[in-house]
A and B are shown apart, each in its own frame.
Chain A
């Protein structure tokens, strides 16, 4: 990429494609809007540095998730475990006209599944997030995880089974 305008355009395309996914990926792990914003911002800043310096990025998706994962790991190394922030803090509800009882029910369901999800081991969390929340294909997940497609399928199957058991116990 030769000029700054092309770099800006490329960055904006990737940013708009992945900002929701990276934010959600981080939020689910840190359970804090402010921290998720900080780490997401840092993820894209590092991505921008690479573009600005003309570094080749073969797979932007894998690159972004890898940075985000590392930042979350660093965060937990540096900080004491943060208190869980209630899921009520999430900004968007799918149906703003739903009545309070319906909203409460959805929030409760989300909290149950989120809590069960974040208590899984990291590989299980990630594979579920990538497959069912970020809609990545098995080959795409294999690239991000640097594992074979067969391994991803097995991991996904085990992750779902573990999550189902956890939710039934909860």
Chain B
């Protein structure tokens, strides 16, 4: 039977799951650059 500390250590190995850093940077830029499009979309809804 795993001890609680051993179990927590195993859970924390999942911290190795991380997004692709290029994807993360591109996605941030994509969201921020969508602002003009968002502005038009919002105006059309009002």
Binding site for B on A (CB under 8 A): 4, 8, 11-12, 15-16, 19-20, 23-24, 27-28, 33, 36-37, 40-41, 44-45, 48-49, 52-53, 87, 90-94, 106, 109-110, 112-114, 117, 128, 132-133, 160, 163-164, 167-168
**B7 near A23 (CB under 8 angstroms)?**
no
B interface: dominant SS: helix
B32 touches A90 (CB 8 A): no
Count A-B contacts at CB 8 Å.
Answer: 101
Assess A48 versus B19: contact at CB under 8 Å? Given A110-B13, A133-B11, A160-B4: no
- Partner among B8, B11, B28 whose Cβ is within 8 Å of the Cβ of A15: B28
State whether A19 and B19 are in contact (beta carbons under 8 Å apart), knowing that A4-B35, A168-B2 are contacts in the complex: yes
